[in-house]
Structure 1
Amino acid sequence: MTAAESFDGLPDAVTDVFGDEATAEQAYDLLTVDVPPAAWIAALETARDGLGCTYFDWLSAVDEPGTGFRVCAHLAALPASGGRVRRLLLRTTVPHEAAVLPSAIDVYAGAAWHERETHEMFGIGFEGHPHLVPLLLPEGFEGHPLRKDFVLAARVAKAWPGAKEPGESEHGGPKRRTMLPPGVPDPNEWGPLKGQLPPAPARPARTARAAADRPPRRTPG
C-alpha cells in the first residue's frame, strides 16, 4: 500500500497506523490525529515515513484549562506531480504539572525553532533539544505569556522599569494619577496579588463650578 493510500484510509484505520490509543477525525480537508505523549515521536515517524508527510509546517500548543497543554504539529504530504496536498494535524496532550515531551528535531529538523518558541510561551519542556533558550522574549522576562494563568495585571503591580513621565521629579512635585492599561483589572481585585495591595488612590471628585466662575457662552450673531 502506498503512502497516499494509507493516508486516504484514515481516519477509519487510525489505530492500525498510529496504535491502539490513537483517535482521528477529518474536517475541511484536514486530518487530525491525537496520540498519547508516549507515542509522540513514533507518531511523527509514522507520519513522515508511512504517510509521506515530509513537509513540516509548524509546531505549537494550546493551553486547555483542566486538561493540559495540547501540543500540535502541522504536517503535509506533497504530491510528486499533480494530485492534492494531504494535510495532517498531529496532536498530543501533556498535563500542566508535567509539561514535557521528547524533542521532534531528530524527525523534523525544522521543529527546533518552533519548540523553542513553544517552550518560552507555554513553559513546555522538550527533552533532547540541544538549545532550548528564549527565541522571542527579552532577556529576564518572567512567566510564559500564552498560558491561561499568565496574569496581565502583573505589569500594573510591578513598577514599570522605564523613565518617569514628563514633568515628574525625583524630589516631589505633582505627579500624574497612576492609570491601569486598557483591559487590565485592578491587581488587588484579580490575580495572584488579590487582597495583598493597598487600595488604589481614589480620583478626586469633580465639583461643579459656580455660574459666576464660568466663562460666558458665545451665541451666534
Structure 2
Amino acid sequence: MTPEEVGRRVVELLAPVEATASVSGGQGYARATVDVPPASWADAVRAARDDAELGLDFLDWLSAVDELADGFDVVLHLWSVAHRHGLLLRTRVPRDAPVVASVVDLFPGAAWHERETHEMFGIDFAGHGELRPLLLPPEFEGHPLRKEFVLASRVAKPWPGAKEPGESEAGGGRRPVRPPGVPAPGEWGTTPTPAGAAGAGEGPRGGTPARPARERPARAARPSTGAGQARSGAAPAADEAGPLGRPLPGELPTGPPRQQPDPEAGES
C-alpha cells in the first residue's frame, strides 16, 4: 500500500472519529501520518495493528514533541513487517494536563518508550502502572526535554558568550559557577588563576592541580671497570670478577702486537 492508501485506511477504520491523514517525507522515503484525538489514541493503535490490510505489527518507537503553549504531541511509529509500509500516529495533549492512554497492553515493547517519555516530558500514560524513572536518578527534578527546562550549560556560560572577557559585545566570559557536587578549588589542591582570568575550577583554564615533587632514588656508586684498572695499572679486586668467574677485560692476557705483512715485499 502507498502512504496515501495507508492514511485513508486508518481514517476509515476510526470513523466516525475525526482523524486526519497526510503524507510526510521526501521522494526517497514517504510515510503516512494520521492525527487522532487523545480519547481515540489506543483505539487507533489497535485498529492499525489488527487490520489485515495494514498489518502494522511492529512498534518502532514512541516519543513526544514540545509544542509550547499548544501542548505536547505524542508520536508513535508503527511498521508492517509483511507489507513493508509504516504509519506515524500522532495526538496532542494539553500542557496543563498531559495524559494519554497507555498502549503497553497492545505492544509490550512500549513500556520503556512510555517511561522515557514520562520522565523527559512529564506526560502521564494512563494504565501503564510502572512509570518509574528509566534514565534519570529518582531525586532528579524537572523534565529535561521540555523547552522551558533551563540547561545547566547556559548557567555556567551565558549564551551567546565569549571564551574570554572582551571578545564579544555581549560582555561574555565564564562565570565562576561550579557544578553541584564539585568541591571548591581550595579543597582539592588547585592553583587559583590570576584576577580577570576564568573562574577557578571550571576546566583547563580554571587552575591546575598541585602535583607533589617526585623524588628520584639515589643511585649507588658504580664500581670501576676492568678496562679502567688496566689503564691505571691496578689489579681488579676479588669481588669485581666477571660473570660466572670469567676474567674482566683488563685481566685478559696480552701478547706482542701482531705484525702486518708488507705489501711491497715479494714472496720468498
Q: Above 0.5 in TM-score?
A: yes
In structure 2, the residue matched to 1:16 is 12
Q: Shift of residue 156 of structure 1?
A: 3.7
Task: Give ranges in structure 1 of 5+ residues lacking alignment.
Answer: 182-221
Please name the residue that 1:52 is paired with. Answer: 55
Gap change, CA 1:179 and 1:107, over 3 Å in 2? same
Matched, 1:119 2:118: yes
How many Å separate the matches in 2 of 1:132 and 1:155?
Answer: 29
Q: Distance in 2 between matches of 1:8 and 1:146?
A: 32
Q: 1:117-142 deviations in whole A, cap 9, x for unaligned?
A: 00000000011112110000123111
- In 2, distance between residues paired with 1:93 and 1:87? 20
Structure of higher CA gyration radius: 2
1:34 aligns with 2:31: no
Give the Cα separation in 1 of the matches to 2:80 and 2:70.
30
Aligned twin of 1:98: 97
Contact 1:156 1:180 in 2 (8 A): no
Residue matched to 2:67: 64
* TM-score, normalising length: structure 1: 0.67
Residue 166 of structure 1: how far off its partner (Å): 4.0
Q: 1:10 and 1:53, CA in 2 relative to 1: closer, same or farther beyond 3 A?
A: closer
Match in the other structure for 2:214? none
Asked if the contact 1:59/1:74 (under 8 Å) is kept, the reply is: yes
**CA contact 2:4–2:32 (8 Å) conserved in 1:** no
Structure 2: gaps spanning 5 or more residues:
157-176, 204-268
* Structure (1 or 2) with the greater strand fraction: 1
Superposition CA RMSD, Å: 3.0
Contact 1:121-1:144 at 8 Å conserved across structures: yes
Q: TM-score, normalised by structure 2?
A: 0.56
- Tell me the distance in 1 between the aligned counterparts of 2:50 and 2:134: 30
8 Å Cα contact 1:100-1:125 kept in structure 2: yes
Deviations 1:33-67 (A, max 9, x none): 11000000000000100121110111000001121
Q: Whose relative contact order is higher, 1 or 2, with alpha carbons under 8 Å and at least 6 apart? A: 1
